[in-house]
Structure 1
């Protein structure tokens, strides 16, 4: 069974994305890190002991990778927005065996104490118009959420919108009442509890 791991807000420039999320939620984000294999960097926010939000963007100081970046960042344009969600699994190979075509190939990654394996599509874009979740298998006891200060934010609801919402929902071994699949244009909408009340990210 898969479990919710984190949300990804994409941005052209990391500072712009972080500022947008901080303004929307009324809390400060933490310094994240760099992903040399993908040429990206991020900032982070705790959503609880084992969940978090990341703002991610292309790292202008990193060499371009020899493959498309994850989350389809090479084609990203426009203002910062919620583009992806990530589920953690115990066995990535087994999860991919039952996933839709195009869910990605396992790639081993590391940053500091963190070790993980993530499924990254060949073109960087996930099935169902990029609304299928990215799949991750943590390979170390350390998890980013555990190291982040608790700002009092929690995911209350994630709405995943797609014209084939039923098929998308059935493609996932997921049992999380917070996550709803609704028929509509491809999109994500997250309701987050903050110290100042409920806030919405799209």
Structure 2
């Protein structure tokens, strides 16, 4: 599903195990995440929650973890997306538990978006084609993933995605969650702002300082709260 402009697609909450991620979601957000699926390329699996937003018509929250029962099919020396193979990330999740670590931006033309970032010196990674089965059929997308799996800018630089005919949020029931604001902070804020400008992505606040992400959400059980990434 091609969008007319770049926009927030989904927030990424990483967990050491998917079971820990589900428990975190129920305790922190007061809701049980809906079904997700498996990603054969990277040996991961997820659970999903729709996010309502006045500015983002199709957005969701993803809880993702390494699937201990799967072996990545991508082969070679390529690592899993979102730094999930990185020892520092694994130690962070073991110490602090599931947490917001990244976000993904939907773009209308992922090839052009990757080239726009390359033009300002940012290597977002090659574009790969991925898919997973759902009860409604095959879900397909194209996504930028570096071979080393790095998120870039400590997770504040979005991964890029271009969906096929169907966006997964269209198949998700309402969760009662609403995304109010996404704020990014990084010592290289100028470069991050330039990247978002190159993508034509508006509405995300960027400031200078220690690296981090903050997502302000309205929840049905706990009112308004802010998810923070742990450096």
With structure 1 as the length reference, what TM-score do the two structures score? 0.93
Equivalent residues of 2:143, 2:159 under 8 A apart = yes
Whether the aligned pair in 2 keeps the contact of 1:29 and 1:45 (CA below 8 Å) is yes
Alignment partners' CA distance in 1, 2:111 and 2:31: 37
State the distance in 2 between where 1:4 and 1:115 align.
Answer: 18
**8 Å contact kept, 1:10–1:56:** yes
Q: Deviations over 1:73-95 (max 9, x none)?
A: 00122221111100001111100
**How many angstroms apart in 2 are the aligned matches of 1:68 and 1:54?**
19
Matched, 1:35 2:4: no
- What is residue 19 of structure 2 aligned with on the other side? 15
What does residue 81 of structure 1 align with?
A: 99
CA contact (8 A) 2:184 2:214 kept: yes
Partner secondary structure for residue 28 of structure 1:
coil
Residue aligning to 1:200:
226
Structure 1 contact 24–200 (Cα < 8 Å) conserved: no
Indicate yes or no: 2:151 matched with 1:147: no
Deviation at 1:174, TM superposition (A): 3.8
Q: Where does residue 2 of structure 1 map in the other structure?
A: 6
Q: Which residue in the other structure is 2:122 paired with?
A: 101
Structure 1 segments, 4+ long, off by >3 Å, are: none
On the 8 A contact 1:14/1:56 being kept in 2, the answer is: yes
Give 5+ residue unaligned stretches, structure 1.
none
1:24–1:199 contact (8 Å) kept in structure 2: no
- 1:119 maps to which of 144, 148, 152: 144
Structure 1 position 102, deviation (Å): 2.4
Residue 136 (structure 1) aligns with: 161
Q: Let me know the Cα RMSD of the aligned residues.
A: 1.4
Please state how far the C-alpha of 1:101 moved relative to its aligned partner: 2.5
Q: CA deviation at 1:199?
A: 1.7
The answer on whether the counterparts of 2:45 and 2:67 sit within 8 Å (CA) in structure 1 is: yes
Number of residue pairs matched?
A: 200
Equivalent position of 2:202 in the other structure: 176
Offset, 1:175? 4.2
User: What is the rounded CA distance, in whole Å, between the counterparts of 1:139 and 1:106 in structure 2?
Assistant: 14
Unaligned runs of 5+ residues in structure 2 are: none
| Superposed displacement of residue 68, structure 1 | 0.4
